Structure formats: structure tokens, C-alpha cells
Chain A
Amino acid sequence: MVVGIFILVSVIKSMIVLLVLLTAVAYTVWLERKVVGRMQNRWGPTRVGPFGLLQPAADGLKFLFKEDLTPPHVYKPLFLAAPMMAVIFALTSISVIPFGNSIPMFGYRIPLQITDVNIGLLLILGVTSMGVYGVALAGWSSNNKYSLLGGLRASAQMVSYEIALGLSLVGVLIQSGSFSLRDIVDAQGGRFFYVIPRWNIFHGQFIGFFIYLMAAYAETNRIPFDLPEAETELVAGYHTEYSSMKFAMFFMAEYANMITVACLATLLFFGGWHGPLAGPPLMRALLPVAWFAAKVFCFLFLYIWVRGTLPRFRYDQLMSFGWKFLLPLAIANLIATAIAVAW
């Protein structure tokens, strides 16, 4: 009954990953409030638990118990479906992200990844590209002009930046010759001159990383590209009409997307779980996961940092930045990489 074991292992892994992910989402929110608070010279959450650590739980409870308003004149089926779609696609893409090497357990080598697909990267791209529906449909079905504008902006913005995002990754793909995230990370092992790690960012992909970072911020609708929910112009953009758990779903989706994007950046440009190893075998097995988590944390911190620092773009600036700067730059980077590899 190998199939049974396989399904069992998969289910267990999925549950663990889901649990970790949701926890991470919750505490990313906490982290953001804390860090932004400090940046703005205030305390952030402090009352619930030590350092406000229980604040996410309190938020969750609040969302759960709030009244779930459904305004009149909305297009109900989609109004309900939109937040679900958003959160489903946000959570799906984590399934192909590897967190570390495989570890031996019960006579099997269990890869630290829900599933290793040899087109993992493409799958992530595909799933994140589906993510736009949640936002767009939420905006449309709300039957509210601010929501509609937010939804239109979101769909245009995400479709536009997806191109730059995809092209920025092609450089990495050319260098490692595989779509499999595990292969890409494996290709980044080792060092230059015994000192500099052989990560892609040090391996000629700095521009690619830059483009990826910009596009990823736009894809996740984060500052400075958070036009779909620009509070000052659109009230709250596409989720103006949402409340309670449905709003929480969008919230979760946004932070889950942030984490996915941070994971991807780590895997593609920062060597994934590669890092100095030491200690007993168990530690050697788990240390990579720690390295991976640390790198992802850095990216999440960067997200928050940027949010605390930068102002918002104007919409036409956003579009021309994407189409007239990032896209040509990504193509140039792709060509340069191709020439370098071929040569």
C-alpha cells in the first residue's frame, strides 16, 4: 500500500506546511505592525501578551466574530467566491516550494517540500497569475465604483508586471538549466574564491534580482505599488465592501503571497537553504531550514521596511515604469545572460 503511505505523507506534509504558513502569515502581520510602529516612533501592539505576541490571535478572533455584511446590489456568487479564490491561489503556490534538503525518516528520504515538480517555477507563475482573479472579481462584484477601479487597476497591474517578473526569472533558468526549484537551489551550492557564496545574485543576476523584486512588489500589491487598495484615493480599493472573515481572507492572501514571493526570491537568487553547516547530523539536517527561514525573514523585513519608507506611485508612473523600464531591462538582462551562458 505504497500509495496509501504516499498520500498519508503528503497530507501530513501539507498540513504542517499550511500550519507553518498561516502562523507565518499571522506573525508577519504582527511584525509589520511592530516594525512600522517603531519606524514611526510608536510602540505598535503591546497589550496582548508579551510584546503583543498574542495580537494575531486576537485579530483572528475579532474577524471571526464580526458581523459578515453583504451589501445589497452586489453580485453575490462572485462576491462570495472572490476572497476564496484569492486565498486558495495564494496558498496553493507554496506547495512546490522546497524548504530544505530531504531528511531521512522511517527508512525513507522525505524531501522537505510538499511536492517536487520539474516545472515547479512555471507552476508557481501559473498559480500566481490566477491570483489576479480574486482581486479583479472582488472589485467587479462589489458593484462599487471604488472597488471596480481597484479591481481594474489590480488586474492591469498584475498582468503587466507578470511579464517583467517572468522575464527576470528566465536569466536564472538559463543559468541553472531547470525549472525545478530544487535543481535551481542545488546549482547554487559552492563558493567563488572560497568566500563569496555561489548564489545567483552574485552570479550575474543582480539586475534580474532587482527586476524580480520590483515586479514582485507590484504583484503582491504592496507599497510602493499598492494602487489597487490605495486608501487615500479608493477608500480601500477592491475590498472596500468586504468585512469580517471575507476581508481576513484577502488579508491572508496578501501576506501568504508575500511569503511565497520571499521564498521564491530566496530560492532563486539567494541560494535557498545553502549556508554554513556544523554540528551533529540532526543539526546538519535542520540547519538548512533555519538558513532558509532566516533569508525569507530578511525579505519580509525588507517588505515592511519599504512600506515604512516609500510613498505610493501614481498610476501612469506605475504603468510606464513597468512597460518602459522594467520590461526592456528584463529583456536586456535575458539577452546578456543568454550570451554569457552561450559564450
Chain B
Amino acid sequence: MTGTRKLSVTGNWKARTLTTALMSFHLILFLSFGAVCVGGTVNLLAQRHPINSALSLIAVMAALAGEYLLLGAEFVAAVQLIVYAGAVMVLFVFVIMLLNAGEEEETKGSRVAILIGVPGTLISSVLMAWVVLRHSGTEAVAIGALPGHPVDIAQLLFHDFLLPFEITSVLILIAIMGAVVLASKPGSAAGKVE
């Protein structure tokens, strides 16, 4: 996933001569990452053991990081890897390991979910896909169309969106404390944060 960035960064190569070749190259990369995404997603649903689902999700996320790179969002790609794949999913795997979650049981707890929810989901998906395909046109997204340079992102994040940013930091703090309190055994010393 790192090889593609080389082209837009290295000054030695005359980008002008590359464009046509890049078109197909770009599409190929998109399709391969997309294939990983789709495959991972389907596997997530198909697998009955949560650890397999978790690994599929990690694959999806890594592939999505590749898609972000294609879209020129390098920083988002890196954060996707670090935060999602590297931290959030580790947490999932950790919990699966901790609780020693076994295979899923095939209980029939909800007819509504199958009889109403699944058709509803299908209907809305088809509708949305139809709208996207039919009406949103096929404007191309060029490679490196958006220089998602960390400096620009920092400017937005720490200047224009400073207040939301600070609020999310408070949110994170609250979430940490909530997690500590919730996960601690009732009455144990960990409940009262040492």
C-alpha cells in the first residue's frame, strides 16, 4: 500500500507522462483494495467465531486505509491504521480473548430482525445504490486530488475545528473513566480508581 504514494511524491519522475498509465493502475489498486473490503465484510458476516470476524474486520480496515491513500488522504489512512486497526480492534481481540468467546449459537430470538429488518435493509440498500448509480454521475476522483497534507489537516483540526476537537478530548476522558468503572468488578478496588 505504500508503493503507490511514491509516484506523486518523488520529484524525479515526470508525472505528465505517467497519467495514462496511472489511470488503469489506480483503478486496479482501487479494485484490489475493494475486493479485500468486500471479501472481508462477507467473511465477517459468514464466520461464526468472533475472532474470525474480528480479523476480517481488521482486513477491511487495512484495505480501507489503502482506499484512503488512493483518495489522497494519507493522514486519514495512517490514523485509520493506528487508531482503528491498531487500537480499537486490538481491544476487540483482547476482549474476545479475555472472555474466551466461543462460536455463536444459532438461537432464534428475533423473528422481526429477519422478517422485517433484513428486507428493510435490502430495500434501502437497493434504493441508495440506484440513486448513486443513476443520479450522482460518474465524476472521477483523481489520484492525489486532495493534498491531505498533515499541515492542512492540523490547521483545520486545531484552528477551525478547535472547539469540537476539545470536546472530543473531554469525551475520550469520560469514556476512559466510564470504561474503568464499568469493567471493574463490583466492589473491587479497581472500581474506585486508584
Contact = CB atoms under 8 A, between A and B. Distances in A.
B52 to A, nearest CB: 8
A152 B2 contact: no
Contacts of A130: 58, 62, 81, 85-86
A10 B81 contact: no
Interface stretch (A119-127, A188-196, A244-252, A276-284): A119-127
Interface string A71-83: 0000101100100
25 contacts: A77-B52, A78-B51, A78-B55, A96-B2, A111-B10, A115-B2, A116-B6, A116-B10, A118-B9, A118-B150, A122-B78, A122-B79, A126-B78, A127-B81, A130-B81, A132-B86, A133-B90, A133-B93, A148-B97, A152-B98, A155-B90, A155-B93, A156-B94, A159-B94, A178-B150
B90 A95 contact: no
Interface residues of A, number: 44
A10 B87 CA distance: 31
B3 to A, nearest CB: 6
Interface string B60-78: 0010010000000011011
B104 to A, nearest CB: 15
Interface residues on B, range: 35 or more
A2 B13 contact: yes
A65 interface: no
Task: Describe A's contact surface by its main secondary structure.
Answer: helix
Given A109-B12, A133-B58, A119 B75 contact: yes
Interface of B: 2-3, 5-7, 9-10, 12-14, 17-18, 21-22, 25, 51-52, 55, 58, 62, 65, 74-75, 77-82, 85-87, 90-91, 93-94, 96-98, 149-151
A10 B6 contact: yes
Contact of A119 (B10, B74, B85): B74
Given A119-B78, A127-B81, A148-B97, A159 B90 contact: yes
A184 interface: no
Nearest to A93: B2
Contact of B3 (A115, A129, A178): A115
Nearest to B86: A129
Contacts of B98: 152
A343 B14 CA distance: 41
B66 to A, nearest CB: 12
B17 A2 contact: yes
Contacts of B78: 119, 122-123, 125-126
Given A118-B74, A119-B150, A130-B86, 10 more contacts: A2-B21, A116-B9, A117-B9, A126-B82, A129-B90, A133-B93, A136-B90, A155-B90, A162-B86, A177-B151
A129 B85 contact: yes
Interface of A: 2-3, 6, 10, 75, 77-78, 81, 95-96, 108-109, 111, 114-119, 122-123, 125-127, 129-130, 132-133, 136-137, 139-140, 148, 151-152, 155-156, 158-159, 162, 166, 177-179
Contacts of A3: 18, 21-22, 25
Given A3-B18, A118-B149, A108 B74 contact: no
Contacts of B94: 136, 152, 155-156, 159
